[in-house]
Every structure is written in structure tokens, then in C-alpha cells.
Structure 1
Amino acid sequence: MRSLRRTLLLSLLGALVAVFVGAGFATFMTARAEIDDLMDYQLRQLALSLRDPLFGRPVAPAVAPEESLDFIIQVWDNSGVQLYLSRPHSVLPALAQLGYSVMQTPEGEWRTFAIPLRDRVVQVAQPMAVRNRMAADAALRTLLPLLAAIPLFAVLIWYLVGRGLQPLKRLARDVASRRPDALQPLLAEHVPEEAQPIVHALNQLLGRLDSTLAAQRAFVADAAHELRTPLAALQIQLQLCERASDAQSRAASMMELRAGLQRATHMVQQLLTLARQEPGATPPSPQAPVRLAEVARQTLADHAQLADARRIDLGATELDDELVVHAEAAALHTLASNLVDNAIHYTPEGGQVDVSVHREAEDGQARYWLTVCDSGPGIPPEERERVFDRFYRRPGQAESGTGLGLAIVRSIAERHGASLVLDASPLGGLRVAVGFPAHSQGG
């Protein structure tokens, strides 16, 4: 795990060292320029000091030259004869270039100054290595106190970075000390500005978790309440079956018991279907191109027997085979099945249920619509939003149901970005339309 404190320390120290290196180079160049000016002045002054006409006679020096002397002096007469050389075996050329110049020799660069004085030419030379050494010494003396202060800077940076990270540590302790059911928003008053986005994101996550848990608790409570009634009815029917005095009464009780089991099984299946459609309940199934007309045909075939038993005219008015959406095939089959099943159950015997798949624009955008119309009693406009609530059933309904069909439909539609519309049907009952975005079309 990377330490933010260590990362900041290394980054700041690295930047500090880089600044020191740059400052050291700049100091060296500045010191070198100043020393060049000073030494050039000395070269000129030394050359001018040799203008005595008695100086420069061709006589060897009486004593060996001083080794610590950095200058080399050469004197020539007007004919080019060397009159004087301060250091024997000099690597400098035997010819002089008037003025300041830099000469390359086997021993490195030399800075020279030559000037004609009366009947002779005087040249004074100094190795550039001497100037470089003096400039480096000057730069080092300037930077040495700063280099010695780097450990102090490291300690200060470590302390200040740690102090600056204290609010994050307090935030981490606050989150770690919370109970699993404590989903209140985190306080952000004392959190640094840079960490505010993290706190806001955590608070949004906590809000979503709170809503999800509240929905799960409500779902479990509603499911327990709704299952209590059919289970109690099953128990009563079982007792009646046990108490039956003859075969005919026992057969009637068994039929009621079988019907109760079917209703309970259907409710459990609907509960499981709704739980699977909840966001994050199961890993999302892979989406693929699905032809809406094929979904409608399969749903009509699955419900043909039920429609015949209730003498319902079940059919299709329009099935556009060109309409393809990118979706979860199983989820679309569940959606269509719930719509057709609801329409058949709430349509009186001898009624009509029509399914269609067509293209239509909504708010200026093309959509692919799957619609189911019935000739049943319909739903008043003021109740059309409530029928999407779980376990909601309109008062006075003779047909038994779970109140979960449209809740499942809405959950699937939302997962696929589809719009859901309830309005009056041309057949006199309810029309349910699910509109899929046209841009979801597959190949």
C-alpha cells in the first residue's frame, strides 16, 4: 500500500534537491563569470606591469619558478624572438594572439592576454582549471548551508504533511467506528477542500445504501404480510380436507387446496422475479440484439391456452419484424409475459386482448413500442401511478393476484432505459405501452 505521506515527502524532497542543483549550477556560472572578469583584469594588469624596457633580456631565471604560481609569462621582441618564458617546457604555443583569447593545449584550456608594449609583445596566460576550481569553491561555500539544511527540511516536511493529513485520519476513524446500520451522512466541516469530493461521494453512497436497505426492509415486510394470508388459507383448506366426511367433500377440499397452492406458488415466483430485477441483486445478464416481434409471438403462444380457457380473443394487431433492441432476452420475455397475463386476468370472459410492436415518435425521438390493450375495466387516471407499487391491488377486484406484475414491468423497463405509459385502450380497457429507445437497435 502506498503511503501518501511518504509519497509527498519524497516528491517534495526531490523537488527541493532539483532546485538546489539548478541553483548550484546558476551560482557556479555566476561565480565563474565574476572570477573571469576579475582574472582578466589581473592578466591585463600583470601584462602592463612588464612594460619596463630592461625586462625581457634573454637570460635564464636564477631560481626555479614557484610551483604555486598559476600565471605563465612570455615576452617576444619585434622580430618574434622569445626574450622571456617564466616557466620552462610550457605547453603554450610560441606565437601570441593579441587581446584576450582561449587556447586549447594538451593540459586543457588556457586564458591568455597579449599586448604590444614598445618594442616587444608580452603575453600572460592562466589555466582555466584554476578559474573553474575557484568558481566551484565559491558555489559550494554558498550552497553548503542549504545542503546541510536538507535533513531539517525533511523533518519539517514529514511533520507538516502528517499534520495536514490529520483530518483524513479522523475521517477514516469516523467511518471505521460506525455501526453497520449507521448510514447518516459524514460531517464535512473540518475536512480539507481537496477531500471534500471524497466525503460527498461517500455521503451519496450512504444515501443510496440507506434507500436500498429501506426498500429491502419494506419488500421483506410486504412479502411476509402478503404470504401470511395464502398460507393461513392453505392451513384452513388442509384442515377441511382432513375433516371431510365423504369422498366428494374431500375432492372439493383437495381442489381448493390445489388452487391455493398454485396461488401461493405464483406469488413466490413473482417475488423471486421482482427480487432478481432489483439493481445489483444479480450480476447483469449479457445484452444482445432481440427482435421485439419474436418476443411478442412467443408470449402469445405461451398464453394461448389460458386465453382459450377464459374465452379471451388474444391476438396481435401489428408485429414489425424490423424492430430490434439491444437488451436481456429473458427480461423482455418476463416483461411481455406479465403484461399479457395481467390483461387476460383482468379482462372479463369473452373479452379481447391485443398485442402490437410498432415504431412511433415520443418527444421528437423515435421509439420502438411494445403495447398490450385489453377490454377490461381499465384503471382510473388517478390510480395509474399507484398500480406500480408492490402488492397494490385496486379495491373491489374480484380477480386474485399478487400486485407485483406491473412493479416487475417497471423495474425491467427502467433497467433498459425504456419509458412506460398507462392510458385508456381503444378496446375500452387499459393500454400499457413500453417504449425502447431507437438507438438501442442491434444488427
Structure 2
Amino acid sequence: MRFSLRARVAAATALGATLVVAALAVVTSVAISRNNVNQLDERLTTASQALVPNAAVLETFLDQLSAAFAVTIRTGDTVRASTPIQLPDLGEGSATVDVNGQRFRVYTTKTVSLVDISIAIGVPAIEAQQVTDEQQKQVIFVGLCAIAVSTGLGWLFGGRAVRPLVELTRQVSAQPPMPPDTKTGVREADELAIAIGGMLQRVNDAQDRTNAALSTARDFAAVSAHELRTPLTAMRTDIEVLSTLDLGPAQRQEILGDLERTQGRVETTLGALERLASGELSSDSDRVPTDVVEICDIAAQDAIRQHRGLAVHIDSEPSVSMRALPTGLRLAMGNALTNAVRHGGADAVTITIERDGTLVTVIVDDNGTGLPEEERSSVFERFYRGAAAAKGGSGLGLALVEQQAELHGGRAYFTDSPLGGARLVLELEDQTLK
């Protein structure tokens, strides 16, 4: 069974009040009982002080006294006189005894004269017990009233205490959720509101990232489908021609060559698209300490093997390390060198690596044909091909370069190169030094 926090506060208050009242009732009852007995003892002591000097006179009419109290006079073990109710032989002082099934509170005193005489005076203990019972009932009644009042106050103040939580629930349950109030005056509620506010912010941020990723994916898929449609249509046309027309060997060879080139273009485009998607899915956990000089050297060696006559020179310190995505940097440098050779016609490239605080700059200079100033921004767009671009490219190489620069907190841009061609600049931010 589920209970509201307000009911729990009221129940806890009632339980606490019950325990306190029960403890106080026990202590008070014991104190009342002891106090009543003490008062009775004081009365008996006072009566004894008045009767002892007149013991001889008292003996003559003891048997005529009321049964409301009892008096017994002894000399040693001999009873000299007594009321109808005879009290037992007791030592000096107060005591509670049973006489004929009735409890008496008795005070005994002894006189020292020519004859030792002891006088015991007693009254029924029921009188004191009745007073005690009555007072204890009053204590119990007051205690029950205190428990009831405490429960009511717990319910009343519990409602006020949980009001910030009720308001917090209302704010969070709103559509869209409202930022919770973090200044309610209740420390626990404020801490909970701050925690919920942080959680809502993280959820909103994650939702924004998800929406952005979905939007990017939709755009990516639309553009990719558009770019792949043209070569696929061309391939279908070539296949229809081969299957429907009776062509000579030369014509068939020409169409097969066109099919091969188109298939290579499709394959290149799909590979580039896969690498772009992989870059967008990378996270901070993929970043590792990376030597940028080593990455550039590997890319340079691969480019020299792929392009005969190409010379690549690296101008840098022996090592420039940063926390980076090594696969992404390797991909970016490979595309930069391929772009310089294939589309710029370069045969000499210089790679310069510099560090300035947290900024690592990679500069790729070539001696190719250069890049018109009006195309220096457009070439980074996906599937964009410059006016002087060679055939067969996917239009995604420089998009990959820019993507990796942005993933590393920087940017990529073109300027004029002192070698006569184009200068590609990659600015990378080393996050570990921040």
C-alpha cells in the first residue's frame, strides 16, 4: 500500500508523540504513586506523634473506633489493645501489609519508657490507590489528547513541508517540463530541484544532439542518393545497350570501360561516405595521445608510393603530440595529399607542423595549379567538384578533411602557397591542455 509523504510525516509524528507520551506517562505514574504513598506516610506519622503521648487513654476505647483505620498497641509480643482490625507486629517505620485480605499502609513507632510500647497505625491502602488511579487516568487522557494534537499538527505542517516537492512534481510533469525552482527555502527540495534540473538539461541536450544527428543523417542520405543516382543511371543505360544491341568488339569494349569507370566512381563515393559517417560517429573515448608528425610521415610515404614522381618534405620538430583521433587525422592527410596531386597536378608538397599553446597547425603547401579564390570555401562542401578537378573523384575528399578539423576543435581553409600552388591549413585544438 502506498501512502503520501504527508501521511508518512503525520504517522511519524504520531509515533514519536506516542513514544514520548508513553515514557512520560510511566515516569509520571510512578511519581504520582510514590507521592501519594509519601503523603499517606506523612499523615500516619503525624497521627502517630499525636497518639503516642496518649497511649494509655487510647487503650480504653480502641475497640470502639471505626474500621476506617486500625491501631494496635503492643508490649513486646503481647497485644495490649487493638481496633477490630489487628495489625501485625512490624519494625519501626512504614510498610504495606495484607490484613484479612485487605491491604493497609502501616506506620509503627516505639516508645522507650518503663515499659517498651509499640503503636502501629494503619489505614486502607485502597484510598491512596484510588487517588493514584484517578490521577493516572488523567495523565493517560492528557497523553492521548497530546498524541491526537501532535498527529493533527504533523498532518498540517507535513502538508506545508511537502509543498515544495508537490510544486516540483507539477513543474517537472508539465509539457514541456518547466525548469524547477531551486530556491524553495527547503534545503532537501532545493538539492532535488538542482539534480532534476541538471537531469532535464542533460536530457534536452541529448535530445537536441539526437535531432541534429537525425537531421544530418536525413540530409546525408538525401544528398548521397542524389549523387549516386547519376552514375547508377549511367550504368543501367550501358547495361541495357549491351543487352539489347548487337555491338562490335570496339563498341562493347568502350561501353565496358565506361561501366568500369562508373563502378569505380560509385565504389569511391561509397567508401568516402562510409568514412564520413564513421567520423560523425566518433566520440571523446576514441581520442588517444597521437604524434601528429608521425601521422603526417605515414601519409606522405603512402602518397609517394601511390603517385610516382611525387616528393613530400616534412618541416617540423621531431614530435608534436596531442590527444586526437589518429585514424581521422591519417584519413585527412591522405585526402589532402591526394587532392594536391590529382586535382592540382602537384609533384612537390611541403608539410609544416607547428604548435602554439593548445593550437596545432598543419600546413600543406603544393606547387600545383592552385585553387581559384572563389572556390576556396565551396570545395569543402560534400560532392562539390571544382572547375579544374580531375574526373573520377567523389567530391568528398576535402569534406573529409574539414570534418576532421572540426572534430578536433579547429577548422580547415585554403590560401596561396609560396610554392606556387595551394596552401591547405588545418588548425587542430589539443583538448588535453585546456
| TM-score in terms of structure 2 length | 0.63
Q: Hey, what does 1:109 align to over in structure 2? A: none
Q: Contact (CA 8 Å) 2:45, 2:107: kept in 1 or not?
A: no
What amino acid does structure 2 have at the position aligned with 1:360?
A: R
The answer as to 2:377 corresponding to 1:404 is no
| 2:176 match | 187
Going from structure 1 to structure 2, the CA distance change for 1:136 and 1:397 (only over 3 Å counts) comes to farther
Q: 1:203 to 1:250 in 2, by over 3 A?
A: same
The answer (yes or no) to whether the contact 1:390–1:404 under 8 Å persists in 2 is yes
Higher fraction of helix:
2
Deviations 1:128-147 (A, max 9, x none): x9999779746643356469
2:235 alignment counterpart? 234
The two structures, once aligned, show a CA RMSD in angstroms of 5.2
For residues 364-411 of structure 1, the C-alpha deviation after alignment (integer angstroms, 9 at most, x for no partner) is x334444323334555677655544433344x2432433322333344
Distance 1:75 1:277 in 2: 108
**Which of 344, 355, 358 does residue 360 from structure 1 map onto?**
355
| Structure 1 residue 70: Cα displacement | 8.8
Q: Name the CA shift for 1:329/1:48 in 2 (closer, same or farther; >3 Å).
A: same
| 2:259 corresponds to | 257
- Given candidates 142, 147, 152, the residue that maps to 2:145 is 142
- Secondary structure, counterpart of 2:43 in structure 1: helix
TM-score (norm 1): 0.62
Alpha-carbon contact 1:355-1:371 (below 8 Å) kept: yes
d(CA) in 2 for partners of 1:354, 1:14: 81
Task: Give me the whole-angstrom Cα distance separating, in 1, the residues matched to 2:324 and 2:165.
Answer: 51
TM-aligned CA distance change 1:346 to 1:398, over 3 Å: closer
Q: CA deviation at 1:328?
A: 4.1
Give, in angstroms, the shift of residue 36 of structure 1: 8.8
Question: Partners in 2 of 1:347 and 1:371 — Cα distance?
Answer: 16
2:425 aligned with 1:432, yes or no?
A: yes
Cross-structure match for 2:367:
375
Match runs of 1:121-200 below 5 Å: 137=140, 140-143=143-146, 145=148, 186-188=175-177
CA distance in 1, matches of 2:363, 2:117: 116
Alignment of 1:248-287 (within 5 A): 248-279=250-281, 286-287=286-287
Check the 8 A contact 1:368/1:436 in 2, yes or no.
yes
Q: Which whole-Å CA distance do the structure 2 matches of 1:135 and 1:339 have between them?
A: 97
Determine if contact 1:167/1:190 at 8 Å carries over to the other structure: no
Q: How far, CA to CA, are the matches of 1:45 and 1:387 in structure 2?
A: 114
User: How far apart are residue 326 of structure 1 and its match?
Assistant: 3.8
Offset of residue 278 of structure 1: 2.0
Q: Quick check: 1:422 aligned with 2:425?
A: no
- Once the two structures are TM-superposed, the CA of residue 75 in structure 1 deviates from its matched residue by 4.5
Q: Which secondary structure state, in structure 1, belongs to the residue aligned with residue 51 of structure 2?
A: coil
Is the 2:320–2:355 Cα contact (8 Å) retained in structure 1? no
**Partner Cα separation in structure 2 for residue 367 and residue 274 of structure 1:** 24
Q: How far off is 1:54 after superposition?
A: 2.0
Q: Is the 8 Å Cα contact of residues 286 and 328 (structure 1) preserved in structure 2?
A: yes
Looking at structure 1, the residues matched to 18 and 167 of structure 2 have their Cα atoms a distance apart, in angstroms, of 28
Unmatched 5+ stretches in structure 2: 56-71, 75-81, 88-95, 123-127, 183-192
Task: State the AA in 2 paired with 1:437.
Answer: D
Contact 1:367–1:438 at 8 Å: present in 2 too? Answer: no
Shift of 1:234: 2.7
Q: For residue 12 of structure 1, report the CA deviation from its aligned partner.
A: 3.3
Query: For residue 396 of structure 2, what is the amino acid of its counterpart?
Result: L
Residue 265 of structure 1 deviates from its aligned partner by 0.6
Q: What do the CA deviations read for 1:80-100 (whole angstroms, capped 9, x no partner)?
A: x9955668xxxxxxxxxxxxx
Task: Find the residue that maps to 1:303 and give its secondary structure.
Answer: helix
Offset, 1:266: 0.4
Count of aligned pairs between the two proteins: 370
For 1:324 and 1:82, how far apart are their aligned partners in 2? Answer: 115
1:59 to 1:137, Cα distance in 2 relative to 1, 3 A: farther
Cα deviation, residue 298, structure 1:
2.0
